[in-house]
Amino acid sequence: MISRWLYSSFIIILALSVVSILLLFFAALVTFSSLPSLNALTDYRPKIPLRIYSEEGFLIGEFGAERRNLVTIDEVPSQLKQAILAAEDDRFYEHGGVDYLGVLRAAYSNFAAGGVRQGASTITMQVARNFFLTREKTLTRKFSEALLAFKIEHNLSKDKILELYINQIYLGQRSYGFAAAAQTYFGKSLQDISIAEAAMLAGLPKAPSSFNPVVNPKRAKTRQLYVLGRLYKLNHISEREFKQLEKQPVPVVKQSREFVMPADYVAEMARQVVYERFNEEAYTRGIRVYTTIRHRDQHAAYQAIRSNVLEYDKRRGYRGPEAYIDLQKYEKNQEKALEEALDDFNESDDIFPAIALSVKNTEIQAYKKGGEIIQIKTEGLKFVAKYLAEKKSAEKKLISPGAVIRIQQDAKKIWHVVQLPKVEAALVSINSHDGAIRALIGGFDFHRNQFNHVTQAWRQPGSSFKPFIYSASLEKGFTAATIINDAPLSFSASQTGSKLWEPRNFDGKYGGPMRMREALAKSKNLASIRILQAIDLQYAQDYITRFGFDADKHPPYLPMSLGSGSVTAMQMAAGYAVFANEGFRIEPYFIKRIEDENGNIYEQTRPATASNDAPRVIDPRNAFIMTSMMQDVINYGTAVRAKQLGRSDLAGKTGTTSNFVDAWFCGFQKNLVAVAWIGYDEPQSLGKNETGGRVALPIWMQYMSTALKEEPIAKYNPPEGIVAERINPETGLRVLSNGIPEYFFREQLPPLSNEDLDGLGETTQSFRDQLF
């Protein structure tokens, strides 16, 4: 009876097993026939972001949802391959897509643990899931995953499968693939990572969000130790190496240092150009844009803007904390509360937000994001000393516990209390011969204000516009020696286009009759107005368009002589380039070429240059004399401070608008033009005596000191038709002896003085010098 029952049970079980196998086989046949094509693997075309590069090939910007760098399997270092296989699939080169031993091992481990602690997905199965399937945890998906793994193994080599995995897997921080992750987390190429870094990267696929070394460094370290342990167990590293690596910290680069140089404004300009052509495909096709930006110049420009803007801001005084946090409210879980509170305040490069924990006259203890407690002592409190000494009032926001402050560390590693400036600044430099932009900083901090003050800000240029009016006067018969009367003037509303105007010089003084050269060097407003009166307003308005300025933004009224129109910093750079390159108008450009992911060129810029195709817009003699006059702005005029650079080939002009609203310095060396500007977005005074020579010139000087460091001193040779004569500086007339040298157009030589005419035995004639 029992034997018959056993026999019947056996037959039933056998029948059910056969049916199950047949059903499984049938399901496999049906599912296998509906599996997707492997074209996505055999013709792998991942989403590769738009990348922007400097002239030297340094990455300066990247745009796209997926950050990815493609590598071949041969380019992957052996220690990374070992780490990946140790962490994910150590029998990868032995199984056929599904690791049955791994399945049994995982099942046992999960049973013993009383829950799901270990998976059994092979690298091939992960490739199948990442390319074709969802991440839902169902038997159907797992079944399809296994069948796809068999199909993949049948069609692709093991190395190709591993290569696909290494390039496709998501590893956190928008990074897809290990090459991108190496750059994101360590700032290195894949070939340069260490064993410790390889182990940390290999630990990411399991849970990129949880084991991310930026978001959770502690869990990332724990996961890295697991991978190192697996490497030791599989004899890839020795016990001694394991113990050393166990204790070795792995520094993670900050995202703000992701690129070699700060060039966000340039990268954004390039992104806009590419997007206009390719639309959304711009972010997935692997397009590469090579710009004209140079690393040394861009870095120098950035440092010049940052340091000088902060220096100006210090002179304006401390404005008080940005906000207050109620520390008593979060006593139980204070660290978490402080971290969350600081999420609302962005870093600005090396300027960090912090929350004051305790405040004394000689020391502030502050909490910095990441759990660091900063001690700021006497030297670092100079900027806010009076705020610590005063008592809190309704009118004044003082630093007290809970105050949100800004801190910055100097070269000596001393922390200082600082503040983010409200003022903005910009700098652009271009090659004067072809217009290649060498540096462009559109504002103090791109992440705080994306408005590009080089290309988008229309501001009054003030006295930095005078050289264009003086250049026009040379074409009308004026010379650098023409005597101009710097004396008071008054104009009606009809003459100015607005209201009664009684212009004055910056210092409120008048110099009387003086040479035009001297008037420009000392930026005499009344002399400039008289020049514009003499040459005709309409003529001047037409003339400035030769330099690239818009006539309609410079109405033909007398204030135009003092820069009352509107310009951009880019326009000013192009305008001054005409003087530097002997009279040619060049067009600034910043893109050298655009390539596809394989290096095929979509577009290449072939600029018109001063020696080829660029139109000549002013007489080279005019450019030479104007350059000579602007050299004297530095030799003894409003930019004499620039003589500290120790170069004899610099020329330029300061600019300050009414009530000190905008400050400029526009200047050049024969091969390089640079323009610096500073002002508020909502126009307001920079403060009394905050002139172009005081706030903009230092930016220009700091940049030029680096940009021209290896440049030999250039010579400005007089072009044909220029003659040098000696003149009497009081009258501007030629003299045969003594006097000072001056340059003239050959056909515009002033007459000899009466004394010299007498000496030559000629009839003395009265010469009345016209005072303009």
Do 365 and 241 fall into the same domain? no
- The helix (run of H) or strand (run of E) holding residue 338 is helix 334-342
Measured between its terminal Cα atoms, the distance across the chain in Å is 135
More confident residue, 767 or 609: 609
Question: Is the confidence at residue 756, as pLDDT, over 90?
Answer: no
Buried b (16+ CB within 10 A) or exposed e, 310-337: bebbeeeebeebeebbebeebeeebeeb
Residue 25 phi/psi, 5° resolution? -65, -45
Note down the domain range covering 245.
Answer: 59-257
- Could you give the residue numbers annotated as active site? 88, 463
Do 26 and 75 fall into the same domain? no
- Our CA angle for 231, 206, 284, nearest 5°, is 115
Q: What is the pLDDT of residues 455-508, one digit of tens each?
A: 999 999 999 999 999 999 999 999 999 999 999 998 888 776 678 888 999 888
pLDDT at 217: 82
Q: What is the pLDDT of residues 642-653, one digit of tens each?
A: 999 999 999 999
Question: Is the confidence at residue 43, as pLDDT, over 90?
Answer: no
Q: Which of 418, 434, 449 is the last residue of a domain?
A: 418
For residue 211, the SS3 value is: coil
**Lowest-confidence segment of 99-103, 134-138, 710-714, 764-768 by average pLDDT:** 764-768
Q: How confident is the model at residue 757 (pLDDT cuts 50, 70, 90)?
A: low
Distances in Å between the alpha carbon of 552 and those of 542, 565, 592?
10, 9, 32
Q: How confident is the model at residue 33 (pLDDT cuts 50, 70, 90)?
A: very low
Residue 196 lies in a domain: yes
Residue 108 lies in a domain: yes
Do 94 and 237 fall into the same domain? yes
Residue 516 lies in a domain: no
Q: Which of 418, 447, 476 is the last residue of a domain?
A: 418
| Token reading at 575 | 């305008």
* Mean predicted lDDT score pLDDT of the chain: 87
Do 27 and 113 fall into the same domain? no
CATH number of domain containing 186: 1.10.3810.10
d(CA 556, CA 48): 52
Q: Which of 378, 400, 418 is the last residue of a domain?
A: 418
Q: What is the pLDDT of residues 367-419, one digit of tens each?
A: 998 788 999 998 999 999 887 766 655 555 688 899 999 999 998 999 999 99
Do 33 and 63 fall into the same domain? no
Residue 172 lies in a domain: yes
CATH number of domain containing 374: 2.40.50.140
- SS3 assignment for 37-59: CCHHHHCCCCCECEEEECCCCCE
For residue 558, the SS3 value is: helix
Distances in Å between the alpha carbon of 78 and those of 30, 168, 190, 194, 213?
40, 19, 11, 11, 22
pLDDT at 121: 82
Residue 361 lies in a domain: yes
pLDDT > 90: what percent of the chain? 63
Do 234 and 379 fall into the same domain? no
Q: How confident is the model at residue 335 (pLDDT cuts 50, 70, 90)?
A: confident
pLDDT at 765: 41
Do 86 and 232 fall into the same domain? yes
Do 169 and 236 fall into the same domain? yes
Q: What is the pLDDT of residues 538-566, one digit of tens each?
A: 999 999 999 999 999 999 999 999 999 99
Residue position matching structure tokens 């990411």: 204
pLDDT > 70: what percent of the chain? 85
Q: How confident is the model at residue 590 (pLDDT cuts 50, 70, 90)?
A: very high
Distances in Å between the alpha carbon of 136 and those of 35, 122, 124, 303, 465?
17, 17, 17, 50, 66
Do 134 and 250 fall into the same domain? yes
Q: Strand pairing partners for 724?
A: 743
Do 70 and 192 fall into the same domain? yes
| Number of domains present in the structure of the chain | 3
pLDDT at 753: 82
Closest by Cα among 541, 615, 545, 538 to 582? 615
For residue 239, the SS3 value is: helix
Q: How confident is the model at residue 337 (pLDDT cuts 50, 70, 90)?
A: confident
Question: Is the confidence at residue 770, as pLDDT, over 80?
Answer: no
Closest by Cα among 155, 159, 126 to 39? 155
Q: Is 583 exposed, middle or buried (0-12, 13-18, 19+ CB in 10 A)?
A: buried
Q: How confident is the model at residue 9 (pLDDT cuts 50, 70, 90)?
A: low
Q: How many CB atoms are located within 10 Å of the residue 492 CB?
A: 9
Residue 597 lies in a domain: no
Do 28 and 107 fall into the same domain? no
Beta pairing, strands 591-595 & 483-486: unpaired
Closest by Cα among 443, 461, 650, 647 to 560? 461
Q: What is the pLDDT of residues 575-584, one digit of tens each?
A: 999 999 999 9
| Token reading at 168 | 């496709």
d(CA 351, CA 417): 9
Residue 230 lies in a domain: yes
Q: What is the pLDDT of residues 194-206, one digit of tens each?
A: 999 999 999 999 8
Residue 542 lies in a domain: no
Do 78 and 21 fall into the same domain? no
Q: What is the pLDDT of residues 155-195, one digit of tens each?
A: 889 999 899 899 989 998 888 999 999 988 888 889 999 99
Residue position matching structure tokens 């008054």: 490
